[in-house]
Amino acid sequence: MTVEWYGDQVLNAAKIVLKNVSKEVANDVMDDAKRILNQKAKTTTETGLLSQFYVEKSKFKDGGYIIWCQGPKNWKAPYHASFLEMGTFKDVAKPYMRPAAKKNKSSANRKFKSALDKL
Amino acid sequence: MNALFQGIYNRFATTTGSGFYNDISGRLRPNKAEQGDPFPYCVYFSVSDIDELDFTDEREDFTIQFNIFSQNNSALEAGNLLESLKTMFDDCTLTVTGWRHLNFQRNLTYPNNDFDQVPPIQGYSVEYDVLLERERP
């Protein structure tokens, strides 16, 4: 009797699917972060951050994607993306990244499940 | 949201004269500091709120952030404030009107400094996850 096991092919297919969904979710988070920032931004300096978002593949193994605002590849002075997110002793916080990540948590789970169900 | 903010403040206010309350002289402010507030002080605000609904319960999952600020050449005061904040709120039980409190868990802590100021501003941003469940009659 012979059993032919194509486990590697299944795993590779799953990896490709998960990678694509990861990128899609990262783009969703970025879009929501921009939308939230656009709602909260009051000054031209704050709205200027809208053009400084990008999504990048993590360099770490199985690290997924990183959503940057004023990351090393795309930023203009003044540097203040993190100050806006976290707040400072002078300025009220206007979080936009964390709400966007949280908002997409449930839909990300659904997307991963749906993609794996189709395998 | 107001009920949660009130619950947080009530927990703080019941410790008048000791611990974190004493360390920041009662200056725990919702959303933003008051004009002219002297250091040290603390600001707390909601980072996000979403409804997590299923078929049996109605839950709210909040992220609350505390920003503590000290103006001091030494990092000691800010460090002590961080410790007393954690003592007061880590895994605490809140009384929130209309809600059953499930969880108050510290998530992340970031330094929040401004060394351009003289003396420098030294502080921390501390994030908590709060899970509440609506009380049913």
pLDDT, position A7: 84
Tokens of A66: 């990183």
pLDDT, position B55: 45
Q: Answer whether residue B86 shows pLDDT above 50.
A: yes
Q: Answer whether residue B53 shows pLDDT above 60.
A: no
pLDDT confidence bin for B49, thresholds 50/70/90: low
Question: Smallest Cβ distance to A93: which of B45, B52, B121?
Answer: B45
Does A93 contact B at CB distance below 8 Å? yes
d(CA A2, CA B82): 64
Q: Answer whether residue B52 shows pLDDT above 60.
A: no
pLDDT confidence bin for B34, thresholds 50/70/90: very high
Does A99 contact B at CB distance below 8 Å? yes
Q: Answer whether residue A63 shows pLDDT above 60.
A: yes
Best interface-test mutation with B: which of A86, A89, A104 has the largest number of B CBs within 10 A? A89
User: Across the interface, do B48 and A102 touch by the CB < 8 Å criterion?
Assistant: yes
**Phi/psi at B62 (5° precision):** -105, 155
Share of chain A above pLDDT 70, in %: 100
**Domains in chain B: ranges and CATH:** 2-124 (3.30.2000)
Share of chain A above pLDDT 90, in %: 59
Does B125 contact A at CB distance below 8 Å? yes
Q: Which of A53, A59, A60 is nearest to A28 (CA)?
A: A53
Measured between CA atoms, the residue of chain A closest to residue B125 is: A86
Question: Smallest Cβ distance to A98: which of B63, B67, B114?
Answer: B63
User: β-pairing, B99-111 with A53-57?
Assistant: unpaired
Q: Answer whether residue A51 shows pLDDT above 60.
A: yes
Least confident of A44-53, A55-64, A93-102, B73-82: A55-64
Question: Smallest Cβ distance to A103: which of B33, B50, B121?
Answer: B50
The question of ipTM being above 0.90 is answered as no
Contact indicator for A104, A25 with CB cutoff of 8 Å: yes
Best interface-test mutation with A: which of B67, B71, B110 has the largest number of A CBs within 10 A? B67
pLDDT confidence bin for A75, thresholds 50/70/90: confident
Q: Answer whether residue B84 shows pLDDT above 60.
A: yes
Q: Tell me the shortest Cα–Cα distance from B95 to chain A, in angstroms.
A: 25
Helical ranges in B1-137 per DSSP H: 2-13, 19-23, 76-89
pLDDT, position B77: 96
Q: Tell me the shortest Cα–Cα distance from B134 to chain A, in angstroms.
A: 20
Q: Tell me the shortest Cα–Cα distance from A7 to chain B, in angstroms.
A: 36
pLDDT, position B108: 92
pLDDT, position A110: 93
Q: Answer whether residue B106 shows pLDDT above 50.
A: yes
At a CB cut-off of 8 Å and minimum separation 6, what does A96 contact?
Answer: A33, A34, A36, A37, A40, A69, A84, A85
Question: Rounded mean pLDDT of chain A?
Answer: 91
User: Across the interface, do B110 and A86 touch by the CB < 8 Å criterion?
Assistant: yes
User: Across the interface, do B48 and A98 touch by the CB < 8 Å criterion?
Assistant: yes
Domain-by-domain residue ranges, chain A? Answer: 7-117
Q: Name the 3-class secondary structure at B120.
A: coil
